[in-house]
Amino acid sequence: MSLYKDLKQECYEANMQLNELGLVIYTFGNVSAVDRENGVFAIKPSGVPYEDLKPEDIVILDFENNVIEGKMRPSSDTKTHAYLYKNWKNIGGIAHTHATYSVAWAQSQLNIPIFGTTHADHLTEDIPCAAPMRDDLIEGNYEHNTGIQILECFKEKNISYEEVPMVLLGNHGPFTWGKTAAKAVYHSKVLEAVAEMAYLTLQINPKAPRLKDSLIKKHYERKHGKDAYYGQN
């Protein structure tokens, strides 16, 4: 029996949810889940259709991209996940999709403005779009350098990865993360919904104003502030 049965199951369920939520097509996209205690993470195997995926197919790797367990080739984005886990210690899961509206914003090379309270319920910043990858990074270790691209974006914009659990990569698409793999998927769905809402907002009113600061503060803090009162916790 695998030492990583529970980790594989967590990763499998998150990947299946990505598919069920309509965030991926065919074999696109992936979710990983990390085990910090053992210094490993689980990720979807490359190119396997979701309808064929099984928990035992999930691949286990260390943070240096060495396969610890699994017979299949891991996702082509594995090195990006490994780089983020190595550098951001407080994330437990990462998701990558090719969801339509998220990708459209990434292809436009624009941040997603914070227009409404749905956005503010989850973060207080515009959703950042990293600049398209530099040629020297493209020609190098591409997937590893995608991780570098994400970290450079957050450093340049002075953004906390714990406060903004999502990013768009210029001309590529979205990555999201969270305390668990399920939370990373949740953030992928939120990002796609907000991306669609922002797009429609600009179709209705190209001069739509950014949400005012008082509403941003109210909606974020009622869910995430020290006196949060949303939900049953």
Active site residue: 6, 26, 213, 230, which one? 230
DSSP code of 22?
T
d(CA 62, CA 67): 7
d(CA 191, CA 186): 9
d(CA 98, CA 29): 6
Element of type H or E holding 189: helix 181-204
50 catalytic? Reply is no
Active site residue: 57, 121, 142, 199, which one? 121
Contacts of 13 (CB under 8 A, 6+ apart): 181, 182
230 catalytic? Reply is yes
Residues designated catalytic: 121, 230
